[in-house]
Amino acid sequence: MAIFKGAGVAIVTPFHEDGSVNYEQFGKNIEYQIANGTDAIIVCGTTGEASTLSHEEHLEVIRYCNEKVAKRIPVIAGTGSNCTETAVYLSQEAEKIGVDGILVVTPYYNKATQKGLKEHFTIIANAVSIPMILYNIPGRTGGVNILPETIVSLCREVKNIVGVKDATGNISQVAKLMALAGEDVDLYSGNDDQIVPLLSLGGKGVISVLSNVAPKQTHDMCQKFFDGDVEESRKLQLEAIDLIAALFCEVNPIPVKKAMNLQGQNAGTLRRPLTEMEPENVARLEKAMKAYGIL
């Protein structure tokens, strides 16, 4: 049984102007997601700016999210690190908080071998009892890529490693993975412009940036596919392409926070080294949001 099926939001962490976490707004954002059909909340991932949260903030954001959601939908906590011991610590603490699963990114900067990746993920998974999803995003990790054979091996050999969020953008690699995997790997798209293609290869859903500003549409894109209305699912995917491109015209989460602020969701500021969006890109984003009907 997959941790979730459908559209999970990679939720932003809203900040006050002084840079502190805006928990009141965070609660409103969580309620907005649940009210609009989001199937799971992924907290403290890349989009949640986990890399610039202190360990105390990181765990408090997870705790707040888990308590606010109150088991209405699954909560999956980002607990990855380039340090195995740190990832173990964060994962164990997240388990104590009561989340439904963890998302663990490929170690960045260290540039581990496939052997190193297997040991890293195995040690973390063995330190907890809740399900774990691997997060393969070479663009954020110095080009380190978890190969299909490694993913399948981990999912088969480690009982609580259940799947992967694939943000490689490499459809051929995903096809190879799923050909090898059988029913042993729960696949989630990590790219909003490839939701339907990955569903067609056996994906369970998406961990989505788009869902922050278009939760119902993203949920429906997945649900229509599962219901057998592939044509409508495809239509929803293609309608969102220009908006998705605008949401990634600068590094995530710069554009999505701007988009949320434009919608009145009050995502607030960014933490350095991220900076505010360039004016010409803001204009592009506004145009795409208006064309999509969410502004």
Of 68, 135, 204, 258, which is the active-site residue?
Answer: 135
| Token couple for 46 | 């890349």
Q: Which sign does the torsion angle of CA 64, 68, 70, 71 carry?
A: negative
265 touches 36 (CB < 8 A): no
89 is catalytic: no
Q: What does residue 57 show for φ and ψ, rounded to 5 degrees?
A: -65, -45
The SS3 assignment for 260 reads helix
| 8 Å CB contact between 240 and 248 | no
Q: Helix, strand or coil for residue 76? A: strand
Sequence-separated contacts (24+) of 219-228 with Cβ below 8 Å: 219/6, 219/7, 219/36, 219/37, 219/38, 219/39, 220/37, 221/7, 221/195, 221/196, 222/5, 222/6, 222/7, 222/39, 222/195, 223/6, 223/37, 225/196, 225/199, 225/200, 226/5, 226/6, 226/199
Per-residue pLDDT of the chain (295 residues; tens, 9 = 90+): 899 999 999 999 999 999 999 999 999 999 999 999 999 999 999 999 999 999 999 999 999 999 999 999 999 999 999 999 999 999 999 999 999 999 999 999 999 999 999 999 999 999 999 999 999 999 999 999 999 999 999 999 999 999 999 999 999 999 999 999 999 999 999 999 999 999 999 999 999 999 999 999 999 999 999 999 999 999 999 999 999 999 999 999 999 999 999 999 999 999 999 999 999 999 999 999 999 999 9
Q: What is the pLDDT, as a whole number, of residue 1? A: 81
Asked if CATH classification 3.20.20.70 holds for the domain at 6-229, the reply, yes or no, is: yes
Q: pLDDT at position 135, please?
A: 98
pLDDT of residue 172: 98
CB burial of residue 72 (10 Å; 0-12, 13-18, 19+): exposed
* Nearest-angstrom CA–CA distance, 195 and 217: 12
Tokens representing 168 are 């490689």
As a whole number of angstroms, the distance between CA 291 and CA 248 comes to 17
The set of residues, in sequence order, having a beta carbon less than 8 Å from that of 166 and lying 6+ positions away, is 136, 173, 174, 177, 187, 188, 189, 190, 191, 198
Active site residue 135: yes
Which of helix, strand or coil describes residue 155?
Answer: helix
Segment holding 8, helix H or strand E: strand 6-10
Query: Using CA atoms, how far apart are residues 216 and 92, in angstroms rounded to an integer?
Result: 32
Q: Look up tokens 């990832």; give the residue.
A: 87
Q: What share of the chain is helix, strand, coil (3-state, %, to 5)?
A: 50, 15, 35
Q: Give the Cα separation of 259 and 266 in Å (integer).
A: 10
Type of residue numbered 68: K
